[in-house]
């Protein structure tokens, strides 16, 4: 086989290979690795605390939502369910919704539900962050806080 044919065959073979298979070089002719794909770490929205207060004309649920994950959480929703009795089985009397702002890893925010003129009236309460599971989290099982204790300042 002639030298010219060898060169033509090598050029043809090289043109069939994907460009990514060749090492990139910098100005010093040292090899560089292709860039690694970015891995997105998931957030983990949790209810850090929930406090229920009834004093005269004010009825509030004050909830601290935290992102315990390693990734940022986008804007989400939080729901407060007020039950007719002291168990979940008693049925929901009323739902309340509000927004949770975006949270960076380790960040937390306080969300307040003002439900006056309604009262908790001894009913159980359930707070759920991201109740529709729109945020993909590292742990989807820790988004709730349930209590059936009387509200503080209840009269």
Q: 128-149: per-residue pLDDT in tens?
A: 999 999 999 999 999 999 998 7
What pLDDT digit, counting tens, does each position of 45-93 carry?
Answer: 999 999 988 888 888 999 999 999 999 999 999 999 999 888 999 999 9
Hey, how many other C-beta atoms are within 10 angstroms of the C-beta on 98? Answer: 14
Residue that is written with structure tokens 């209590």 in the block: 147
pLDDT band at 155; cut points 50, 70, 90: very low
Whether this prediction's pTM lies above 0.85 is answered by no
pLDDT tens digits, 85-128: 889 999 999 999 999 999 999 999 999 999 888 887 778 999 99
Question: Which residues on adjacent β-strands are paired with residue 76?
Answer: 100
């Amino acid at each position: 086989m002639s030298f010219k044919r060898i060169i033509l065959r090598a050029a043809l073979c090289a043109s069939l290979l994907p460009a990514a298979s060749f090492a990139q070089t910098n100005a010093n002719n040292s090899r560089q690795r292709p860039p690694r794909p970015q891995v997105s770490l998931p957030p983990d929205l949790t209810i850090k605390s929930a406090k229920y207060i009834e004093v005269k004309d004010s009825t509030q649920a004050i909830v601290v939502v935290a992102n315990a994950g390693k990734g940022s959480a986008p804007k989400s929703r939080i729901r407060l369910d007020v039950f007719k009795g002291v168990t979940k089985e008693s049925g929901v009397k009323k739902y309340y919704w509000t927004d949770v702002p975006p949270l960076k890893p380790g960040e937390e925010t306080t969300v307040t539900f003002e439900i006056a003129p309604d009262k908790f009236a001894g009913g159980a309460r359930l707070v759920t962050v991201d109740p529709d599971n729109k945020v993909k989290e590292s742990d989807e099982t820790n988004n709730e806080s349930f209590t059936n204790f009387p509200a503080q300042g209840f009269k």
